[in-house]
């Protein structure tokens, strides 16, 4: 396993590994870029098939966090942590404490929070060993859990995508296939059902499915969810679900979901565009969680929802620029993010925490004429 030759290595500032034999912890922390501020990102626990898969995931996820924070107008950089193991079998207090020590040893270069396979209670244990943890604010709604805010951002972004593609942001009667009914997928399903959407869910966990069905969703198999005849496909499970084979089966006209790294590679953004499918880039639409984390850290929770709602505005401008330039939405979004964090690296002061439509257009124009 080589870091520098990894396909997903992108001049990362820090990639560090640990193994604690006493607790069974095997983990990797990656910091992609800290030009805009300290690197913040969740701690994922997953039973990776091998070390190389874990490395690829943490490299891609940390890079995505850099782009996510930049386009959300946050003074944060991008980082991520992965723990190799099944959270249902291998998680323990000792393992989480060892993870806290590992994070603390980075001296603040990386700040952690919840992710797939970890929760608020886990962050409390990690936080007993390090100050560099967020998502545990008991005074906030949901106990500091950012998942509902991620779901709310997807909801706002989905409405923007529907307005652009179908001419209306009304959800009443809209069919949505939600792949993954965990925390984000469940909260998203609830928001959509309340607006009159017809929601179909698939998950490998029956308990997750049962909770979604209680909300009014219809259960379908994991094999059928991607190709379901719906208006919107919302991937809210693991990444790389959009590839040559799956894109060919899509019947949805919009892809808008919460999973990170939904595209197997960047070329699949163009493949979606060629098929006439509007793709809301994952690192834009799923930024609600990191926005909430930022407001927990900064002590301004009352501003969180309004900030999350600006995801829709950002996506509307990305869709517009994509149409004008005849390029994929993900290509536009990446250029916009790079224009922001790279200019800060060149000495510009980061004063723009509201990256609205005018700023997006200006950044895109600048990026294409430099």
Report, as residue numbers or ranges, the catalytic residues.
80
Give the tokens for residue 121.
Answer: 């209670």
Q: Cβ(102)–Cβ(128) under 8 Å?
A: no
- Please state at what angle helix 304-325 crosses helix 288-298, rounded to 10 degrees: 140
Tell me the C-alpha to C-alpha distance, in Å, between residue 296 and each of 57, 133, 134, 303: 26, 11, 8, 10
CA distance 60 to 239: 10
The helix or strand, by DSSP H or E, that contains position 46, with its residue range, turns out to be strand 43-46
CA distance 130 to 286: 27
Give 192-225 as a DSSP string.
HHHTT-EEEEE-S-HHHHHHHHHHT-EE--TTTS
Helix axes 357-367, 329-345, angle to 10 degrees: 80
Looking at residue 261, the DSSP 8-state letter turns out to be: S
Distance CA 284, CA 154 (A): 9
**DSSP character string of 266-293:** THHHHHHHHTT-EE--HHHHTTHHHHHH
Q: How many CB atoms lie within 10 A of CB 196?
A: 11
Q: What are phi and psi of 238, to 5 degrees?
A: -90, 175
By CB atoms closer than 10 A (0-12, 13-18, 19+), residue 134 is: buried
For residue 70 the two structure tokens come to 């930049």
As given in the structure block, the two tokens for residue 187 are: 């909260």
């Amino acid at each position: 396993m080589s870091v520098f030759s990894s396909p997903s290595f992108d001049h990362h500032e820090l990639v560090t590994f640990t193994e604690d034999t006493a607790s069974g912890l095997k983990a990797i922390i990656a910091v992609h870029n800290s030009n805009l501020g300290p690197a913040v990102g969740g701690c994922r626990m997953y039973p990776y098939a091998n070390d190389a898969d874990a490395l690829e995931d943490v490299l891609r996820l940390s890079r995505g966090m850099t782009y996510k924070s930049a386009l959300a107008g946050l003074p944060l950089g991008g980082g991520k942590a992965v723990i190799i193991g099944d959270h249902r079998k291998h998680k323990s207090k000792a393992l989480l404490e060892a993870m806290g020590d590992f994070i603390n040893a980075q001296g603040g270069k990386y700040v952690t929070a919840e992710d797939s396979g970890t929760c608020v209670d886990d962050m409390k244990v990690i936080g007993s060993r390090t100050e560099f943890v967020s998502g545990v604010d008991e005074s906030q709604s949901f106990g500091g859990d950012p998942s509902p805010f991620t779901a709310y951002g997807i909801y706002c972004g989905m409405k923007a995508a529907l307005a652009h593609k179908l001419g209306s942001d009304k959800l009443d009667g809209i069919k949505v296939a939600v792949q993954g009914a965990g925390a984000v997928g469940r909260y998203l399903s609830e928001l959509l059902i309340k607006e009159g959407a017809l929601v179909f869910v698939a998950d490998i966990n029956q308990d997750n499915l049962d909770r979604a069905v209680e909300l009014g969703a219809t259960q379908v198999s994991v094999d059928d969810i991607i190709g379901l005849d719906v208006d919107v496909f919302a991937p809210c499970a693991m990444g790389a679900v959009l590839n040559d084979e799956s894109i060919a089966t899509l019947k949805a006209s919009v892809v808008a979901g919460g999973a990170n790294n939904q595209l197997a590679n960047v070329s699949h953004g163009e493949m979606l565009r060629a098929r006439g499918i509007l793709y809301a880039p994952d690192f834009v639409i799923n930024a609600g969680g990191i926005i909430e984390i930022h407001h927990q850290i900064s002590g301004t929770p009352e501003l969180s929802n309004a900030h999350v709602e600006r995801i829709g505005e950002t996506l509307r401008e990305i869709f517009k620029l994509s149409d004008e330039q005849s390029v994929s939405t993900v290509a536009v979004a990446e250029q916009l993010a790079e224009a922001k964090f790279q200019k800060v690296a060149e000495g510009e002061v980061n004063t723009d925490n509201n990256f609205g439509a005018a700023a997006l257009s200006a950044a895109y124009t600048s990026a294409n004429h430099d």
